[in-house]
Amino acid sequence: MKKASNSDMRDEYDFSKGIRGKYAERFKGGTNLVLLDPDVAKAFPNAKSVNDALRRLISGSSST
C-alpha cells in the first residue's frame, strides 16, 4: 500500500489488520450527535439535562 506523501500519520501506526467500517452500522443506527454552540452548552452540564429539556419542549410542559 502506498503511503500518502503529506500525511500526519506516524510510521509506527499500523492499521494493516484494521477493518474498514467495522462499527459503521452500529454508529449509524444508534447515534445522533449534535454540536451545541458554546453558550448553549454552558447551560447543560450533561446529556441527561439536555434530554430532559428537549422532552419538556416536545411535550409542551414546563415541569418533569
What is the pLDDT at residue 61?
67
Where are the domains positioned within the chain?
34-64
Tally of CA atoms within 13 A in the half-sphere of 17 that contains its CB: 0
pLDDT for 45:
92
pLDDT tens per residue, range 1-45: 555 555 787 888 888 899 999 988 887 777 778 889 999 999 999
Predicted confidence at residue 1, as pLDDT, reads 53
* 50, 44 contact by CB (below 8 A): yes
* Cα separation, 63 vs 18, whole angstroms: 48
